[in-house]
Amino acid sequence: MDALKDRDPAHIGAYTLLARLGAGGMGQVYLARSPGGRLVAIKVIRDEITDHPEALARFRREVETVRAVRSAYTANLIDASLEAAPYWLATEFVSGPTLSQAVGERGALPPQACRGVFAALAEGLAAVHAHGVTHRDLKPQNVILAAQGPQLIDFGIARGAGQTALTEAGFAPGTPGYTAPEVLLRNEVGPAADVFALGATLAYAATGRPPFGMGEAAGVSYRAVHEPVDVLGVEPGLAALIEACVAKDPSARPGLGEVIARCGVRAALVEDPFYAGLAQLAEAVPQTPAAGRAGAVPQTPTVASVAGPAMPPAYAPVSPHDLPTAGAAYGYTPTELSRPTQAGRRRGVLWLAVGAVVVAVGAGTAFMLLTPDDKKDEGSKAGGGAAASPSASKAVKSPAASAEGAPAYAGDKIDRVLWSSATGECQLPPEERAVEGFMGSISDPDAPSETSQTHSFGNKVQVGFRAGGTTGAKEPYYVTVSVKPPHDIDPDTGKPIEGILSDNANIGYLSKPVDIHSGSDPTSWKYVTYPDDFHSWIKGKPQPSIPLTNDPGDWTVEFHHIRTPDDYTSIMCDGFTVK
């Protein structure tokens, strides 16, 4: 756990915050104390996604699920606030390391302890399934090795039998390496998928290695569908049970009762010396907020108990996006992804070096990489003409007005589009057809005449766009460009959230909207430079962009037709790789 930061509130509802436990795409998780002295874990939705209906629907469903599943194997719901921001839920605080943390510190579990954890988690899943709920995100980060036995946490994407699915077509819930093939291929979620995740989780516990290797999410998921699980060096009987649980065909997997029986447990897990030693890895709990913390203003305590009237049994279907959950509520060592590795090159990829960083720019269909002859002097700076400069663009203030008809900025929103260097494509098509003859480019602003496959340049990327067709007066057509890092970014550090390398589900950083037909020649190129001309806009306030080197991996570039700050749709997508 980490000390509170100045930007954290002193209280959430009636609870006094003591420390940070973890973070993820959905929100921040805190350790807190009730007025009566009880320790709780409070999950708070991030401010920037509270305006998204699908985020709130998912959060309300999580509260429903945690309230319904009251079990010795789960952290039970204590309190929640669902009527107004900040939205939060409080569960029992479970002291202990995550399975991921424990393996990271002590290495793979010996066979006896591994079988005990296997059987206990199978019992826990059986209890969850008995409530008509599938967990859908079982992994080492969501298992707490408590003194009383393993506990399941984070039901952020769990689903009850009667609940409406909130996952967009084409996106599977769960974590790469722990998500079953039928979920990845057909989005078929059921108890057998939890058995697959259980087997993958125990493969990690038994080997100390991710069950299907490390790397980018697409590669890990491919191996989960097509390749065997890694059980090299595992005791044969235990390896056979793991392999049965991760069978590619869900009908071939054992039931949880069979898993428990095959574990052959003969003694209480808490009496196992190795397990007891793992449970003692729990961090000391602070009794008061970290000393020296300043700037936090206590909120007026208000308690919104969940013991009142029941919430509606179902919510209207929402679309299109499935948000990532907060991951491990108590912090963890990542197991499913490593720092991005070099993807296979393909024809049409331009490699650019950014100091110590290499940027690979994909040349997809309908997307052109500029040569010196294309650029000439015909283009204009899309952020504000020839006088625009990086220093000027950084001094951005929340706009009160804009030119007539021109959106002042592009607001933040959820966006699951990702570009992959492995395919050279984005995994989803544009949302609308672009204006006639639209073209985009990614180039080096510091070496416009360089045409070699590999060259050095500064820590910037220039993005250009233009409309085709005939010259002459044209109707305004406003374009904004989004540049998205590969992973969710911690606003405090400007880097991926520590311990989590989850795919970025936000829009990223956006340029100021510009009329593509502006200027004396409506077909001339317009340019914006990252990071100088890009910000994220949260509730009308700009947040600075991060350096490229802060998040190595595949970055996504999208071009959007924008009508208002909250109404814009993608018209083209490509990307580049930072190494």
Query: Among this protein's residues, is 137 annotated catalytic?
Result: yes
274, 321, 287: which is closest to 428 by C-alpha? 321
Rounded CA gap, 272 and 270, in Å? 5
Angle ∠(343,345,351) on CA atoms, nearest 5:
95
Q: What are 81's strand-pairing partners?
A: 88
Is the torsion defined by CA of 266, 269, 271, 273 positive or negative? positive
One of 137, 230, 488, 503 is an active-site residue; which one?
137
Distance (Å, whole) CA 90 – CA 329: 11
Q: 174: alpha, beta or left, given left = phi > 0 and alpha = psi -120 to 50? A: left
Residue closest to 243 by CA, chosen among 222, 264, 229, 223: 229
Q: Measure the CA dihedral 144/148/149/154, to 10°.
A: -30
Q: Which residue has the tokens 């002859």?
A: 373
Query: What are the C-alpha distances in Å from 174 to residues 26, 51, 75, 181?
Result: 14, 24, 20, 11
Residue 252, Cβ neighbours under 10 Å: how many?
Answer: 10
Long-range contacts of 66-71 (CB under 8 A, 24+ apart): 66/91, 66/155, 67/306, 68/131, 68/132, 68/133, 68/160, 69/127, 69/128, 69/131, 69/133, 69/155, 69/158, 71/124, 71/127, 71/128, 71/131
**Catalytic positions, written as ranges:** 137
